């Protein structure tokens, strides 16, 4: 672990921290804070896409793409990751998670808009993501290949190990069940679903995600209501630990900042290059539509669900000195608030959160396996390896799993941030076009590829007439 910790410190302290913040701020300024001023449009588009019938077509709807990305985002990062950030970095880490969500939503908008722009035709849906816009947009196929390898390792293998590890820890704490038994159940369930392809994943995610998120938020709101008089004190605690003199002198601000950014990125994935892989699958009339919807996903994940976990822990008054970490800290806090059945609730909630993440993570890898090969046997081998890594995670050390995930996530984010910084100008132009159409009274803006003549030849899935894909 010494080598892993050294690489993590080097990568995150000196490179990614500055790059993440600079890109998020730059995109926010260039889009005039699209993530805030167009929040209403994000909600409208999501509601509109959720109500549209598929008419028997095999397309993935905008809402289904959103559900798959939320399935990946809303997982152990929300229950275990937030708890780890607070235990290691203190309450101040929550503030930096909030800030990264507010700014990072602009990065999510840019990367997802680019994924829509450069998507290609797949067997059952569109396929795209950073590997594709690196190859077609940057004209750097080597970079796309390297990213495809990194994301497959990160999500298909490392992150899925983390998810299954945390599920097993929660069930052991709640029921005393052996990791091996729980791991077998998770592995078999995963294989049964992923062998049904993206269509089955989309159907499962579009049911699981709304139910699990709503249930958890309602419980958190109930706990907030029970502790309503403590809300100002908790907010002061978070802000004071993010900027306090005592924490600054002791190095606590730096630790809180690092934990907040790392765990926040693990949770909401803004700028990492993961969500664009599923954003590209959606059938929309304009790339900006899915960019806006994916930006809303960052808010849903961090500002809503992560905040619920943070408040549950801080309201409870349980010790956050680092002795209890991960999901077990969340379980202790919830047990303190609502009794012993809180243990069971977290275990069950985490199963659905993390299991849906395994499905979303798997698809990110599949989209990039297709970048290398469309061969059926290659996909079968990948699916079996994913199942193997889910089982491995069930019995592996949590520390090792988190350490590996941090490194691969960091390298992924590094390459993606470079790519979207160079290609961001197209996302800005697309946003201007979308807003111009809205100002002209066009309720449903469309994009045609001859609006970007210099890259028209690279836009495989957009017609010259617009809206016909």
Q: What is the pLDDT of residues 285-300, one digit of tens each?
A: 899 999 999 898 888 7
Report d(CA 123, CA 95) in Å as an integer: 43
438 touches 285 (CB < 8 A): no
Question: Residue 43 sits in which domain range?
Answer: 2-458
pTM for this model (two decimals): 0.81
Read off the pLDDT of each residue in 128-135 and give the average, rounded to a whole number. 92
CB atoms near residue 25 (< 10 Å): 13
Sign of CA dihedral 122, 160, 71, 264: negative
Cβ within 8 Å of residue 466, ≥6 positions away: 285, 446, 447, 448
CATH number (domain holding residue 451) = 1.20.1740.10
CB atoms near residue 373 (< 10 Å): 11
Give the DSSP H/E element, type plus range, for residue 127.
strand 126-127
Report d(CA 19, CA 413) in Å as an integer: 9
Sign of CA dihedral 429, 435, 440, 446: positive
Q: What is the pLDDT of residues 405-464, one digit of tens each?
A: 677 777 888 899 999 999 999 999 999 999 999 999 888 899 998 888 888 888 888 877
The verdict on residue 467 lying in a domain is no
Report d(CA 132, CA 212) in Å as an integer: 32
The verdict on residue 465 lying in a domain is no
The verdict on residue 468 lying in a domain is no
Q: What is the pLDDT of residues 291-328, one digit of tens each?
A: 999 898 888 777 777 788 788 888 877 766 656 656 66
Residue 439 is predicted with a pLDDT of 92
The verdict on residue 469 lying in a domain is no
Number of independent structural domains in the chain: 1
Cβ within 8 Å of residue 389, ≥6 positions away: 156, 157, 158, 160, 161
The verdict on residue 466 lying in a domain is no
Q: What is the pLDDT of residues 202-220, one digit of tens each?
A: 777 777 767 777 777 787 7
Give the DSSP H/E element, type plus range, for residue 120.
strand 120-121
Q: Among 196-205, 238-247, 346-355, 363-372, which is the least confidently predicted range?
A: 238-247
The verdict on residue 251 lying in a domain is yes
Report d(CA 114, CA 112) in Å as an integer: 5
Residue 55 has pLDDT above 50, yes or no: no
Q: Among 119-123, 182-186, 238-242, 277-281, which is the least confidently predicted range?
A: 238-242
The verdict on residue 156 lying in a domain is yes
């Amino acid at each position: 672990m010494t080598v892993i910790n050294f690489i993590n410190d080097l990568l995150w302290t000196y490179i990614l921290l500055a790059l993440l913040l600079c890109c998020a701020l730059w995109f926010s300024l260039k889009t005039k804070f699209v993530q805030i001023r167009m929040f209403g449009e994000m909600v409208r588009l999501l509601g509109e896409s959720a109500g549209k019938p598929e008419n028997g077509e095999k397309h993935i709807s905008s809402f289904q793409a959103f559900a798959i990305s939320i399935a990946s985002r809303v997982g152990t990062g929300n229950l275990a990751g937030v708890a780890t950030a607070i235990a290691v970095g203190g309450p101040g880490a929550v503030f930096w998670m909030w800030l990264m969500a507010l700014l990072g939503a602009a990065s999510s908008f840019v990367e997802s808009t680019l994924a829509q722009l450069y998507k290609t035709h797949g067997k059952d849906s569109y396929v795209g993501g950073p590997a594709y816009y690196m190859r077609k947009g940057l004209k750097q196929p080597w970079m796309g290949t390297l990213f495809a390898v990194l994301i497959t390792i990160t999500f298909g293998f490392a992150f899925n190990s983390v998810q299954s590890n945390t599920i097993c820890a929660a069930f052991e704490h709640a029921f005393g069940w052996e990791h091996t038994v729980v791991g077998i159940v998770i592995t078999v369930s995963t294989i049964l679903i992923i062998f049904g392809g993206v269509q089955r994943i989309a159907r499962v995610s579009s049911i699981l995600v709304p139910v699990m998120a709503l249930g958890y938020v309602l419980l958190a709101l109930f706990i907030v209501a029970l502790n309503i008089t403590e809300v100002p004190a908790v907010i002061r605690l978070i802000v004071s630990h993010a900027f306090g003199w005592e924490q600054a002198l002791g190095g606590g601000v730096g630790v809180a900042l690092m934990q907040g950014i790392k765990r926040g990125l693990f949770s909401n994935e803004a700028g990492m290059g993961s969500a664009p892989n599923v954003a590209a699958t959606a059938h929309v009339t304009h790339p900006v539509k899915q960019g806006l919807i994916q930006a809303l996903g960052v808010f849903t994940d961090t500002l809503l669900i992560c905040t619920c976990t943070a408040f549950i822990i801080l309201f409870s008054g349980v010790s956050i000195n680092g002795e209890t970490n991960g999901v077990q800290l969340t379980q202790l806090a919830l047990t303190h608030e609502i009794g012993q059945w809180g243990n069971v609730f977290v275990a069950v909630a985490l199963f659905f959160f993390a299991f849906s993440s395994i499905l979303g993570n798997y698809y990110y890898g599949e989209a990039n396996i297709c970048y290398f090969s469309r061969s059926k046997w290659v996909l079968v081998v990948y699916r079996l390896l994913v199942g193997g890594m889910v089982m491995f995670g069930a019995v592996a050390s949590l520390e090792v799993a988190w350490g590996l995930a941090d490194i691969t996530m960091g390298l992924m984010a590094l390459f993606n941030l470079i790519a979207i910084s160079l290609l961001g100008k197209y996302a800005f132009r697309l946003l201007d076009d979308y807003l111009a159409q809205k100002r002209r009274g066009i309720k449903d803006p469309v994009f045609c590829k001859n609006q970007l003549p210099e890259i028209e030849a690279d836009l495989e899935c957009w017609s010259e007439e617009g809206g016909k894909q």
